[in-house]
Chains A and B, each alone.
Chain A
Amino acid sequence: MRRIIIMIITFLGGLFFFCEFFFPRELGLTEVIPRMSVVLIIIAEFAIGLGIINLFRFHGINIIKKRKGWYNSFALLISIIVMFVFQVLVYYANTNAAIKQIQDFLFNYVYIPLDTTTFSLLAFFIASAAYRAFRVRSFEAALMMSIALIVMLGQIPLGQQLTSSLAATSSFRFENLREWIMGLWNVAAQRGISLAMLAGGLAFSLRIWLGLEQGSFFEQE
């Protein structure tokens, strides 16, 4: 029964957006869009709420049962609670300077540096991976490495300096070579990939819309 209800709601939702997009505006469906946005916001809020409950259930059990790495779960839950409490306090007591200062401190000097640092570590992994993975073992690997080198040299001022004695419009200047690769070969490849992805996406959407998709949720029933 649950599956049929979900299928009907999914089909009707899909039918609405299909008709709104393809049929003339005089039908009046477009005017309903702002009201639909409120419905979607409510659904999304529920999804966030469910996500938080799920996080607390999963990591709460980790802490209670003292599973391996339980302290990571503890840190996660404490972080969620602290950030949540201060955000709510700022919203309802935004005239209180001390609360705002603490919230600003947590956001600007704890959260942002942690997020930035995690992302910055990628530079080290990329350097290490470049050293190990970019090995010329075949013609394709050599081609890929040569193109990567040209694009990198075309991107940086020192690389651009190497061919600066050539005329500004010369095709052999690194920056012009880079633009040629990015604007022609890259675009051709990207368009091929995009078309294939969109065709796949369309097929997948149709399967969901028409209730043909047999995902994990339906299999459990």
Chain B
Amino acid sequence: MKKFFEVLDHLDRRIIYLILFIVLISAFFIPGRPQNVSKPTKDVYNIVEGLSENKDVKEGKKIVLIVPDIDAATFGETGIQTKVVMEHLMKNNVKFAIMSFIPQGPALADDISKSLAQKYGKKEGVDYCNLGFFLGTQVIYRTLVKDFYSVVKKDFYNRPAKEIPMMKDIKGLQDVALVYHITGTQTLGYWIGFVRNDIDAKFVAACTGIMGADYANVYASHLIDGYINAMVGAAEYEGLLGVFGKGLRNMQVQNFGHLLIIAFIILGNIGAFVSRKLNKE
């Protein structure tokens, strides 16, 4: 008995890895459960939904700016967060432009927008466009507000930005109705510090799970109007959209991963407590 609890106390990490691997793989084959929707996610959904009532947005005089500051490392979360809002915009016929301050961002977002454009019959350059990558220094953010086209000269496909059909009425960030910023980095601070107060637009965001605690603070301070927190937020958004996609499916995997970690914590504590007690005796 003593031996058993000692093993439990110092369980080989390879066994932990193997159990986790089996549980995560098995969870892919179990159907997902509906997710309770949190207030920050609901706020993002309501703002995006409300855009279709906006006269300027309907007439194409104002657009949505999607800023996918994302990379492959966080794509499991940020990719789905990007997709759900793009899908919502395309569904409601709202035009949007993509611009990123992370080199991989435009390419990753381009794949998502292309696949959604096929599904909803949207045309690149007319219903959405990809402005590409920009070097993210503090001065660039300020310049975007003052003189948009001095920064945004060519798009992702190397075409002059001013010649993109949907951009013909867009003079700069003052013609943006909503900024949606997705990231696993700290770039949100630049948007809040240098852009937010100078433009008349709603501002929503999405972050990775590890940054959720920071964003709760930013949201509570009303510096952003809503945010999608990690995979769970993306799954909530899918539920609101009525789409059963990767968010809900991956959340099921995370569901089992969390439960297993909780089980590990309890087992580890039982092992440590009992073996300590037996050793004393």
Contact = CB atoms under 8 A, between A and B. Distances in A.
B109 interface: no
A210 B14 CA distance: 54
Contact of A187 (B11, B74, B220, B262): B220
Main SS at interface, chain A = helix
A62 interface: no
B140 A130 contact: no
B137 interface: yes
Given A36-B139, A182-B213, A130 B251 contact: no
B107 to A, nearest CB: 7
Given A157-B34, A182-B216, A130 B264 contact: yes
Interface stretch (A72-80, A121-129, A213-221): A121-129
Contacts of B46: none
Contact of A116 (B17, B75, B269): B75
A37 B38 contact: no
Interface string A100-138: 000000011001110110111001101110111011100
A37 B151 contact: yes
- Most B Cβ at <10 Å: residue of A34, A37, A136, A160: A37
Nearest to A107: B107
B14 to A, nearest CB: 9
A156 B143 contact: no
B217 A128 contact: no
Interface stretch (B57-65, B90-98, B119-127, B252-260): B252-260
B10 to A, nearest CB: 9
Contacts, number: 141
A26 B129 CA distance: 35
B171 interface: no
Contacts of B17: 124, 127-128
A91 B33 CA distance: 45
Nearest to B210: A122
A157 B251 contact: yes
Contacts of A161: 33
Interface string A5-35: 0000000000000000000000000110110
A31 B16 CA distance: 59
Interface in A130-158: 130-132, 134-136, 145, 148-149, 152-153, 155-158
A107 B72 CA distance: 10
A128 B12 CA distance: 9
Contacts of B212: 182
A160 to B, nearest CB: 5
Given A119-B74, A190-B216, A134 B146 contact: no
10 contacts: A37-B151, A40-B135, A115-B71, A116-B73, A135-B272, A145-B265, A156-B254, A175-B38, A187-B217, A190-B216
Interface of B: 11, 13, 16-17, 20-21, 24, 32-36, 38-39, 71-76, 107-108, 111, 135, 137, 139-140, 142-143, 146-147, 150-151, 158, 212-214, 216-217, 220, 232, 251-252, 254-255, 257-262, 264-265, 267-269, 272-273
The 6 nearest A-B residue pairs measured at CB: A115-B72, A157-B33, A119-B73, A190-B217, A112-B72, A131-B264
Given A34-B151, A41-B140, 10 more contacts: A40-B139, A108-B111, A112-B108, A123-B20, A127-B17, A127-B260, A131-B265, A156-B251, A157-B36, A161-B33
Interface of A: 30-31, 33-34, 36-37, 40-41, 44, 91, 94, 107-108, 111-113, 115-116, 118-120, 123-124, 126-128, 130-132, 134-136, 145, 148-149, 152-153, 155-161, 175, 179, 182-183, 186-187, 190-191, 194
